Amino acid sequence: MIKVGIVGGTGYTGVELLRLLAVHPDVQLTAITSRKEDGLPVADMFPSLRGVVDLAFSSPDKADLTQCDVVFFATPHGVAMAQAPALLAAGVKVIDLAADFRLKDQATFEKWYKIPHTAPELIEEAVYGLPELNRDDIKGARLIANPGCYPTTMQLGFVPLLKAGLVDAGNLIADCKSGVSGAGRKAEIGTLFSESSDNFKAYGVHGHRHTPETSAQLARYTEQKVGLIFTPHLVPMIRGMHATLYARLNKDIDDAALQALFEDTYKDSAFVDVMPFGSHPETRSTRGSNMLRLALHRPEGGNTVVILVVQDNLVKGASGQAVQCMNLMFGLDETTGLKQIALLP
């Protein structure tokens, strides 16, 4: 059994990890930390876990995380970089769901996240945890930088086209929408029911910190300079993410060949569903599951490819993807504990 610790178990990604790991056949939940909720039974905070998780939260100084095989950090940016060096030195593998190790350039990280990086020696070692693109590297990793939710949709949508050299990498557009849970489990005016319900708005238009993460990863698959316009939106639902991606073709290719390109790219990826050409994937078709669905369009047969991508931002966009990485790191089947079917209606 894999002994698992979770640092920061009271947020949405933390409880999602608990939901998935509590029924994982190869996992033993060992420690769940929360400084504020020290001693509180997990099931008292999250009744959905009654009878399934019998642990109590413990403060970080009481939890002996070095006894774990792997520790997930479902914490604000900056926490993992402070604790990862000691855990790694003790032989514990680390999966960070925040952004501490996503960017390889330290200056870029500090510019966008406004905090100093305290473990720069680990930046290069960290493996970007997007299994569909980095499966082999993840298998041998001891430190995983779990991707952001928006970047997951953008990369899985754009990468097949970039690798094939079919589109202008300098003219990529991503128009993306996320449910309110993407903002985290905290009291904030913008995510209050009265503010977000029956409302729709864009944010971060001038620049969003997922842009440098996504651009840096996309650059690995093209010799062109990547130019990405990314606009996120908040939609009045709890879970779900929809990305509408636009790319301009620079070579002649028919629709059947475009479809075949994506189907071939993801033929061995259990959690990417390439739907028939011209389909319209819905967010509810992925709710509560680790599945990402995408579909291709080519308006009026022109030179613009439109890729529609949907996922659950808390599962494939966060905790489910982290568990997917853990499975690979410990030699398990990638799908272990992640075969939940989406909830509908």
Q: What is residue 61's predicted lDDT score, i.e. its pLDDT? A: 84
Q: Is residue 271 assigned to a domain?
A: yes
What 124-127 contacts at long range (C-beta under 8 Å, 24+ apart), as own/partner pairs, is 126/96, 126/101, 126/102
CATH code of the domain containing 87: 3.40.50.720
CATH code of the domain containing 275: 3.30.360.10
Q: What is residue 186's predicted lDDT score, i.e. its pLDDT? A: 80
Q: Is residue 202 assigned to a domain?
A: yes
Number of domains in the chain: 2
Same domain membership, residue 101 and residue 67: yes
Q: Is residue 325 assigned to a domain?
A: no
Residue with tokens 């020290």: 38
Same domain membership, residue 165 and residue 112: no
Q: Is residue 344 assigned to a domain?
A: no
- Give dist(CA 155, CA 132) in Å, integer: 10
Same domain membership, residue 158 and residue 301: yes
Q: What is residue 188's predicted lDDT score, i.e. its pLDDT? A: 83
Q: Is residue 47 assigned to a domain?
A: yes
Q: Is residue 141 assigned to a domain?
A: no
3-state secondary structure of 128: strand
Same domain membership, residue 154 and residue 116: no
- Give dist(CA 202, CA 148) in Å, integer: 18
Per-residue confidence of the chain (345 residues) as pLDDT tens digits?
A: 999 999 998 999 999 999 999 999 999 999 999 988 999 999 999 999 999 999 999 998 888 999 999 999 999 999 999 999 999 999 999 999 999 999 999 999 999 999 999 999 999 999 999 999 999 999 999 999 999 999 999 999 999 999 999 999 999 999 999 999 988 888 788 888 888 889 999 999 999 999 999 999 999 999 999 999 999 999 999 999 999 999 999 999 999 999 999 999 999 999 999 999 999 999 999 999 999 999 999 999 999 999 999 999 999 999 999 999 999 999 999 999 999 999 998
3-state secondary structure of 249: strand
Q: What is residue 2's predicted lDDT score, i.e. its pLDDT? A: 98
Q: What is residue 185's predicted lDDT score, i.e. its pLDDT? A: 83
- Residue 149 annotated as catalytic: yes
**Residue 141 CA: distances (Å) to CA of 57, 152, 269, 337:** 28, 19, 19, 20
Same domain membership, residue 172 and residue 54: no
3-state secondary structure of 204: coil
Strand partners, 201: 234
Q: Is residue 239 assigned to a domain?
A: yes
Number of Cβ within a 10 Å radius of residue 189: 8
Same domain membership, residue 300 and residue 260: yes
Same domain membership, residue 250 and residue 210: yes
pTM of the shown model: 0.96
Nearest one of 55, 4, 1, 56 to 29, comparing CA atoms: 4
Q: Is residue 134 assigned to a domain?
A: no
Same domain membership, residue 105 and residue 221: no
Same domain membership, residue 297 and residue 172: yes
Question: CA 161, 163, 169, 174: dihedral to nearest 10 degrees?
Answer: 50
Domain range spanning residue 297?
A: 149-313
- Give dist(CA 41, CA 18) in Å, integer: 13
Four-residue CA torsion sign, 196, 187, 284, 210: positive
Same domain membership, residue 249 and residue 100: no
Same domain membership, residue 115 and residue 249: no
Q: What is residue 165's predicted lDDT score, i.e. its pLDDT? A: 97
Same domain membership, residue 84 and residue 116: yes
